[in-house]
Structure 1
Amino acid sequence: MSDSRDLLILGGGLVGMTLALAAARQGLSSHIIDRADPAELTAEGFDDRATAISTASWHLFTNIGIAEGLEQFACDIASIAVTDQNLPGRLDFTPEAHEGTLGRMFPNRRLRLAMFEAAAAEPLINWVSKAEVIERQRSEFGAAAIISREGGEPEKLMGRLMVGAEGRGSPTRDAAGITIAKWDYKHRAIIAGLTHSKPHGNVAWEIFYPAGPFALLPMNDDADGTHRSSLVWTVSEDDGKAVTKLGDRAFLAEVQKRMGDVLGEVTSVGARSSWPLGFHHTAKITGERLALIGDAAHGIHPIAGQGLNLGLRDAAALVEVLTDGARIGLDPGDAQLLTRYENWRGLDSFMVALATDGLTRLFGVPGKTASAARRLGMSAVQRTDLLKTFFMDEARGVSGDLPELLKA
């Protein structure tokens, strides 16, 4: 069996699925192949993680038609508070009323559901789940993937451009022999949902400790009015397993000690998960009839909550490049188009990656002197409107050369 489409997207996560939906809006067809079972990915309790969606990414969701169904699950981020170990010298980022929010928080499950439902209803998307890619083929004439599904014969799916979107361990990237720079932070992110006595006021807290950032991200209250937030706590790799295994009472005590009274008393904690943290960035993001997007191309520290948003910028840029090419009759795998995508996204993603790496190292320097110097710098930023506006624009994703899909 064979079937040919414009795009052959390997990886059906949030970035790969967004690419397929955005491409379909521009008349580009795709195969999207993923090994996971969507029923498992959207099951209650599978993934308690939540994701910050920037203003620009929300524009993208609006432009591809999924924002309306997601709106009821959004929790606005009205302000970001940054402190060094809850010591004096707090930095606040609060946009003017006419500028809107700094972003929105969503449960990952809700993002997946919205995208999966939209993809299932889109005739230009052939979504193949629970499938293993057993062979990848690329040549000047096109791209193909040989896939295997449980109990079936191997199938061949063809496209004019192969897109690697499988995440940090992308086998498509590795099979293409693309060089990658990477290092391990020797940190783990502990993720859990919290309930607490005080309302969060739509404030996202970033409390920096030498071991790593401690982030409290606002979520919608429960139906009964219980206040909720999402915790992303970075700990050393050595401490990660021990922290994950703490009983609820001990874990809550550790959380309370680090967050102080900003959310009042922590009353309960949801299921905990942990993820190793590392940095990687590819030497290039394209090859012969190949483009990489999202974590397949770059993996950054979650210190600024920009990982998924960076991947969504990739998807929007790639769709714009391919759409512009289609208008003048160019094939999606045309080398000129891929060069434009490389030049557009390569530098931007690298600069964001360097910035997050620098912040991680800056706030990781221990000692009272280093802390005092950081707080002095934060106080200077707090008094400088121009700098605060710059950082807020970066957080909202509205700076730089934006693809049209990321604009209102």
Structure 2
Amino acid sequence: MIDVLIAGGGYVGLSLAVAIKSAAPHLAVTLVDGAPEGVWKKDERASAIASAASQMLEALGVWGDIEPEAEPIRRMVITDSKTADPVRPVFLTFEGAGDAVESGRPFAHMVPNVVMVGALRGEAERLGVNIRQSTPVNGFKSGDHSVAVDVAAGQPIEARLLVACDGVRSKLRAAAGIKTVDFDYGQSGIVTTVEHERPHNGTAEEHFLPAGPFATLPLRNNRSSLVWTERTADADRLVAGDDLVFEEELERRFGHKLGTLKVVGGRRAFPLGLTLAREFIAPRFALAGDAAHGIHPISGQGLNLGFKDVAALAETIVDADRLGLDIGSLAVLERYQSWRRFDTFRMGVTTDVLNRLFSNDITPVRALRDFGLGLVDRLPALKSFFIRQAEGLASERDPKLLGGQPI
């Protein structure tokens, strides 16, 4: 019997395996992933890594492999306008926000997904995590002392704890009977990469447009990652349509401040919604990452919520093991749930409210939100609070890894 079985080979599953194994090498950790071997190498996307998450990755020994390919975000600009407006007034700017008071590092980095996953896989393999690719999990049955996990190939795997990191449409969450709060925004996020003539100087921009936010995030070598929110029907039309039409619509939103644009990555559209698990745990079972929560990308915190799950769950498991407790018991897992559930619901509600507030063109609502943005820009204490939220910096009550401390 193994100690921990992790279902899902993305950044959450891999970082959890690394966190557990590096702090408790004697624990047997197996990671199973239903995706084909090497499919992660084809991921062209990039993700925003908050300061606290980069400190966690440093504590896990992988940030040194990631940082050379990471682009610091040193400035954040927020505008609010209609798509056709010739001038987009800036209502809020985090100038020099990169100098985090406590960490001394940029408040966020943009990291190519393939770099991050590759570094985590390499460290997991070095630590002795058993990674089984092309091995989907069909279901499981929890007992008093173990959980029997039915995998597509081979005999069932018996473990003391099963952790589902299998995405927002988690089959294991459904198998555990855990209900969710769901809402479909009727929006899709178009993700692609563009190359531009002039440097971005580490500036990220978020333009609030009537259909939803249009975010440009800095990458290395005069490139930017786009997260472009549109109504679902329009997003599908743009992604499936002519290249020339796509680039014309892109330029209308991106503008010409960085010169000529060229799309250099594939374009895909992802449906956007809110999914929050009502419970994070069940007997010998826990949810982490998107399996526990799927939120709107308006705040760029989805991935960082997953890393917070990892820090809390890994510390819960390791501390329980050191005390000689049963790592899969509900009494132990309750600590993880109490650590993460409220924070997750708070962030889910926040992003939901922000999306509803900014994804419209109602004149009184626009006047109110623009006044609020301007107020934040003029109050240093309030602005510092929002910078700390973006950095994800840990308090004394938060898991150790978020502060860069080993478990």
Q: Same fold (TM over 0.5)?
A: yes
Equivalent residue for 1:105? 110
Alpha-carbon distance between aligned partners in 1 of 2:98 and 2:237, rounded to the nearest angstrom: 43
SS state at 2:187 partner = strand
Equivalent residue for 1:159? 159
Give the 5 Å matches for 1:374-385: 374-385=369-380
Give the 5 Å matches for 1:73-152: 73-85=69-81, 87-94=88-95, 95=97, 97=99, 99=101, 100-123=105-128, 125-149=129-153
**2:66 counterpart letter in structure 1:** L
Equivalent residue for 1:39? 38
Q: CA deviation at 1:274?
A: 1.0
Equivalent residue for 1:54? 50
Q: Is the 8 A contact 1:8 1:143 kept in 2?
A: no
Alpha-carbon distance between aligned partners in 2 of 1:353 and 1:192, rounded to the nearest angstrom: 25
CA distances 1:17-72 after superposition (whole Å, capped 9, x unpaired): 11001000111331111111231221xxx222110011111011111111111111
Equivalent residue for 2:20? 23
**2:49 counterpart letter in structure 1:** I
Return the match for 1:261 from 220, 234, 256: 256
Report the CA distance shift for 1:147/1:232 in structure 2 as closer, same or farther (over 3 A): same
CA distances 1:67-104 after superposition (whole Å, capped 9, x unpaired): 11111101000011111126324211132646331211
Q: Which runs of 5+ in 2 are unaligned?
A: 82-86
Alpha-carbon distance between aligned partners in 2 of 1:156 and 1:407, rounded to the nearest angstrom: 38
Equivalent residue for 1:345? 340
Q: CA deviation at 1:387?
A: 1.1
Give the 5 Å matches for 1:188-337: 188-221=188-221, 227-337=222-332
Q: Is the 8 A contact 1:252 1:269 kept in 2?
A: no
* Aligned residues with identical type, % of pairs: 36
CA distances 1:356-403 after superposition (whole Å, capped 9, x unpaired): 111101101313332222211111110011111111111111155321
TM-score, L = length of structure 2 = 0.93
- Over 4 Å off, 4+ runs: none
Q: CA deviation at 1:183?
A: 1.0
Equivalent residue for 2:84? none
Alpha-carbon distance between aligned partners in 2 of 1:5 and 1:209, rounded to the nearest angstrom: 50
Residue 387 in structure 1 maps to residue 387 in structure 2: no
Q: CA deviation at 1:206?
A: 0.6
Equivalent residue for 1:224? none
**1:219 counterpart letter in structure 2:** L
| Higher mean C-alpha deviation, range 140-149 or range 196-205 | 140-149
SS state at 2:401 partner = helix
Residue 373 in structure 1 maps to residue 377 in structure 2: no
Equivalent residue for 1:11? 8
CA distances 1:143-190 after superposition (whole Å, capped 9, x unpaired): 1212223xxxx2222211111110111111101111111011111111
Alpha-carbon distance between aligned partners in 1 of 2:199 and 2:173, rounded to the nearest angstrom: 44
Alpha-carbon distance between aligned partners in 2 of 1:214 and 1:352, rounded to the nearest angstrom: 20
SS state at 2:88 partner = coil
| Higher mean C-alpha deviation, range 4-13 or range 378-387 | 4-13
Q: Which runs of 5+ in 1 are unaligned?
A: 222-226
Q: CA deviation at 1:269?
A: 4.0
Q: Is the 8 A contact 1:194 1:270 kept in 2?
A: yes
Alpha-carbon distance between aligned partners in 1 of 2:261 and 2:342, rounded to the nearest angstrom: 42
Alpha-carbon distance between aligned partners in 2 of 1:373 and 1:406, rounded to the nearest angstrom: 35
Q: Across the two proteins, how many residue pairs are aligned to each other?
A: 392
Q: Is the 8 A contact 2:32 2:132 kept in 1?
A: yes
**2:392 counterpart letter in structure 1:** G
**1:202 counterpart letter in structure 2:** G
Q: Is the 8 A contact 2:72 2:106 kept in 1?
A: yes
**1:168 counterpart letter in structure 2:** V
SS state at 2:38 partner = helix
Q: CA deviation at 1:268?
A: 3.5
